[in-house]
Amino acid sequence: MRIKRIGLFTSGGDAPGMNACVRAVVRTAIYHGLEVIGILRGYAGMIKGEMIEMNLSSVSNIIQRGGTILKTARSEEFMREEGRAEAAKNLREWNIDALVAIGGDGTYRGASRLSREHGIPVVGVPGTIDNDIYGTDFTIGYDTAINTAMEAIDRIRDTAASHERIFFIEVMGRESGFIALEVGVAGGAEAILIPEVETDIDEMCRMLMRGRARGKTSSIVIVAEGNKSGGAHEVAEKVKERTGLDYRVTVLGHVQRGGSPTVRDRVLASKLGSAAVEALLKDKFNVMVGEINGQVKLTPLDMIWTHKKQVDLSLYKLAGILSI
């Protein structure tokens, strides 16, 4: 298939490094003599025909910026067949031959349906701070998110020590505990609560009380938002009911998504954005470009949601050993 014009969009939650990826896609495409159309606001903009021609100037001075210059939005309309038909019509009107989709699991599901129903080739690039995408060791935005969270946790530990309190800190991770696990280990947390491991509240309380008995006056507990025993507020209340210990809760929330991307995220985004264009030129369609053991790998899109990426449970065990 001869590809002359690529449609490029970001979808789902924004992630630091998306702009670096947009830059890499546009510049690699132009290097190979292709045209790039930016689709604004993801699938919502695709349905409304919100598209712009992109050139080298379009992506100047954006590699260091957080968020996404193409904007992002969620679209219930695209989930319906009529919405996807309207999106496909607009893509044809703009003479778009193939798509590069930067996002996560939901982005790929939508792109796969669009391709299956309307024959539009697509290549995905993993952009999400949660790092829960199968087919890549790391996703664009993850490294920045954990460093942002880590900085906040270090600051909170200072005030926790000053006031001799337990702080329950909630981080993002609705379906996975990648962020919680890494920042918990790096931040010396006394406990880490993730969706993948059932929480034993009573044992955690005993651990916290043992610390108090030996003179420990402050503690940090990291809670992934998708923890099955509840978020940080719910867990903190359960602990207080059992121990009477004073506590405070901090929900980091969307602060983890913002900010200038780290070097690691900029490099990863540049590699994968360029690799997405190269994949299209080699007629590798309906795949996601990822990085495994430092090498670019292609994974069929339908494997992204049929295979679950696992957290490193040996790291979880290490956290338990180091928190005694």
Query: Is 158 in the active site?
Result: no
Rounded-to-5 percentages of helix, strand, coil across the chain: 45, 20, 35
Q: Do the domains at 5-141+261-306 and 142-257 have one common CATH topology?
A: yes
Q: pLDDT at position 227, please?
A: 96
Q: pLDDT at position 324, please?
A: 83
| CATH architecture assignment, domain 5-141+261-306 | 3-Layer(aba) Sandwich (3.40)
Of the CATH numbers 3.40.50.300, 3.30.420.40, 3.40.50.460, 3.40.50.1220, which one belongs to the domain with range 142-257?
A: 3.40.50.460
Q: Please report the DSSP string for 111-148 in residue order.
A: HHHHHHHH---EEEEEB-TT---TT-SS-BTHHHHHHH
Q: Which residues pair with 6 in a beta bridge?
A: 36, 98
Q: pLDDT at position 79, please?
A: 93
| Residue 49 tokens, joined | 């025909």
- Which residue in 130, 132, 143, 265 is the catalytic one? 130
The model's pLDDT over 297-310, given as tens digits with 9 standing for 90+, comes to: 999 999 999 999 99
Q: How far is CA 280 from CA 34, 54, 80, 96, in A?
A: 11, 18, 27, 13
Q: pLDDT at position 1, please?
A: 76
The model's pLDDT over 140-151, given as tens digits with 9 standing for 90+, comes to: 999 999 999 999
Distance CA 324, CA 319 (A): 9
What is the residue extent of each domain of the chain?
A: 5-141+261-306, 142-257
Query: Is residue 13 classed as helix, strand or coil in its secondary structure?
Result: coil
Q: In which residue ranges of the chain is pLDDT below 50?
A: none
